[in-house]
């Protein structure tokens, strides 16, 4: 007769294994947790915000690859997306989609123009009143290649984005930021009012 402790150990082990497998399936196909480590998306996203990222919204990929087997939709201008940082694919970045494939993006004195029209961007903040001649504030027109996207942070003067390192490949996009499930800067600074906010 099998001792009771062995039966309990087997049951707990099975439960843990099943829970792990389910968690991996959910992470691979449905949602992924993401923490905001920097201020490049202020004020939209705060340092210490914890997000759920919808991985299913754009399509279904073979887990741990860039191979998309089913496509549901394409990223749209204004979407806040998580993607593999092109300079270092081991890092995930989060930015806002500004330019779609085929768009021409230009920056004049901090204002962004897409296909010759100035974008209305109520989510943007500027922390530096200076106008620089660098691509941060003035960028010559760039046409977005097929299957690629031009992305920028909402905290424009303090964001390292497509102005500096180029475009994001469609296959490197992991999902769209969905909802804030936790937000804090430490035990004494929990931002209860942000929990449950939809990312826009």
Residues taking part in catalysis: 40, 95
Nearest Cα neighbor of 144 from 105, 181, 179, 87 is 105
């Amino acid at each position: 007769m099998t001792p009771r402790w062995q039966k309990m150990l087997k049951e707990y082990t099975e439960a843990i294994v099943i829970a792990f497998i389910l968690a991996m399936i959910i992470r691979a196909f449905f949602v992924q947790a993401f923490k905001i480590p920097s201020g490049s998306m202020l004020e939209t996203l705060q340092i210490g915000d914890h997000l759920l990222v919808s991985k299913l919204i754009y399509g279904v990929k073979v887990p741990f690859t860039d191979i998309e087997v089913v496509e549901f939709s394409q990223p749209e201008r204004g979407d806040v997306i998580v993607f593999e940082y092109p300079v270092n694919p081991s890092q995930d970045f989060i930015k806002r989609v500004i330019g779609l494939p085929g768009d021409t993006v230009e920056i004049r004195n901090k204002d962004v123009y897409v296909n010759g029209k100035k974008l209305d961007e109520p989510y943007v903040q500027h922390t530096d009143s200076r106008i620089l001649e660098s691509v941060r504030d003035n960028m010559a027109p760039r046409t977005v290649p097929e299957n690629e996207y031009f992305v920028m942070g909402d905290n424009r003067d303090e964001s390292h984005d497509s102005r500096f390192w180029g475009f994001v490949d469609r296959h490197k996009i992991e999902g769209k930021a969905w909802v804030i499930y936790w937000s804090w800067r430490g035990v004494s600074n929990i931002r209860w009012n942000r929990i449950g906010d939809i990312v826009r």
